[in-house]
Structure 1
């Protein structure tokens, strides 16, 4: 039996409450992508009232005790920056910005970004991918082992950028090894952004800290996902597969909200004047795409608790 793997939400979801500020770009006010200017120097420049590239170029020609690079050096990189911004060349800024500041490229790629999360049978090199979810802010697709998983590689080619949580260390290596996937070159890994904001641990811990409610999937984690796939393989229960897909979809959809919340928090921390702190609107939460079977979740929770008691973990 083929399972539905693509779903669409109502058009009303895309009607975000955007503001004029959302059409501006923080990159024009950024300096830390210029070699020789770090985030501390950038902050000093903002505090000095230097708020954009044109003002930086003028200031670099004056005698000052902030900049350690020449006006010619700054002029060279600002010209490259202007060309990149004019052509939406986010890759240039990804290569030039520190990892913790790469959130600044998001406005350049938001119209062609996919949020991705994978589930596997484990974490070793012998384990395999069981399902993958892609969310683009409006549509969700699930890719399932033994069904449509190989088509993921072609789908990724449709996007300029990819957003993951710890994808550099986990999702992308798995995909490259098993599917020979070429992920979009522009990759925003939320782990680094949230770490720079003081958030530690995995995706679920960050969601909890941000107040993101997983409802009936609260407490379900990666180990659950392993057991759900095992149950599906052993019994062919549709409900087990749909519960796994619901969990995977929740992980993926929440990446967009975490990125926007993280982006806004990073913007708030900048020493830049308030009129230039361009916040993004937080996306609405769509209705669930798959129905998670609460009886299966409860059964797995009880079996895990029993195993922990038997092994003396409780």
Structure 2
């Protein structure tokens, strides 16, 4: 589903009205005609839709993901993904614990446009490098990053991460995928090259690296990178499922 299929950012257009528009054949901005009556869409709402489309077309041409992040309900942020897929930065962090005030970020991996990079504490993991990575993205995607990865990085490196953010944990729950990332991966058929390691294992590997075991760092980085790369597959599956449930399902009703 693309942003151009959406009318829900408009004041007065909720889920029911949007589905009514779709059922009546108004499935894209281009197909909206304010002169054509749609049941439940009065002239005031029609004027608002027309104004929104005019503004949104310009914003979309400019690649202004922040505009759509502000105007879409938070639960519908997944709709931005298809438009900004290639500019989406998937990222995941490893730490020495769960407290951002006491524990350390050890590695951060980023996957964008088919390429994966990893920053390592003590080598190249620094605030400026993080800012560069996030500034280069139109959309961020994580799993549980809104509660963990983002605040941990902001506190640890004194940075502000304001790039639009799709936390995949929430759309996963919406389609019945719950629990941690690894069980969800198994449920949708994502296979890993390496045996799974736990958060405790990640801490152990970092401590072994600090004691001089370079192989431990290699294992940790490989694990972190695989987490990050698998997020793209997860995003593809989740948004396609929601597209079928929300848009295609509503369009063929009635």
1:247 equivalent among 223, 227, 237: 223
Q: CA deviation at 1:245?
A: 0.6
Q: Give the TM-score normalised by structure 1.
A: 0.72
Distance 1:170 1:68, change over 3 A: farther
Provide the secondary structure at the position in 2 that maps to 1:78: helix
Task: Please tell me whether residue 111 in structure 1 is matched to residue 89 in structure 2.
Answer: no
Q: CA deviation at 1:106?
A: 1.8
> 77, 88, 98: which one pairs with 2:63?
88
Please report the RMSD computed on the Cα atoms of aligned residues, expressed in angstroms: 2.5
Distance 1:269 1:131, change over 3 A: same
Give yes or no for contact 2:11–2:45 (8 Å, CA) kept in 1.
no
Match of 2:164 among 186, 193, 212: 186
Instruction: Describe the superposition over 1:84-128 as per-residue Cα deviations: whole angstroms up to 9, x where unpaired.
Output: 222222221111222232122123322322211000111113111
Partner of 2:108: 132
Match of 1:230 among 207, 219, 243: 207
Shift of the alpha carbon at 1:273? 7.7
Q: 1:226 to 1:68 in 2, by over 3 A?
A: farther
Report what 1:48 is aligned to: 24
Alpha-carbon offset, residue 147 of structure 1: 1.2
What is the aligned partner in structure 1 of residue 76 from structure 2? Answer: 101
Partner Cα separation in structure 1 for residue 38 and residue 203 of structure 2: 62
Counterpart Cα distance in 2 of 1:147 and 1:48 = 57
Contact 1:115–1:135 (CA under 8 A) maintained in structure 2: yes
- Alignment of 1:78 with 2:80, yes or no, is no
> SS of 1:195's equivalent?
helix
Partner of 2:124: 148
Asked if 2 retains the 8 angstrom alpha-carbon contact of 1:161 and 1:184, the reply is no
Question: What TM-score do you get using the length of structure 2 for normalisation?
Answer: 0.88
Change (3 A) 1:130 1:62: same
Instruction: Work out which of the two has the higher radius of gyration on C-alpha atoms and give 1 or 2.
Output: 1
Q: Stretches of 4+ moved more than 4 A in 1? A: 66-69, 273-276
Aligned mates of 2:148, 2:65 — CA distance in 1: 23
In structure 2, stretches of 5+ residues that fail to align are: none
Deviations 1:35-71 (A, max 9, x none): 2212232222212322222443436x52623569532
Alignment coverage as a number of residue pairs: 249
Residue 136 of structure 2 aligns with which residue?
A: 158
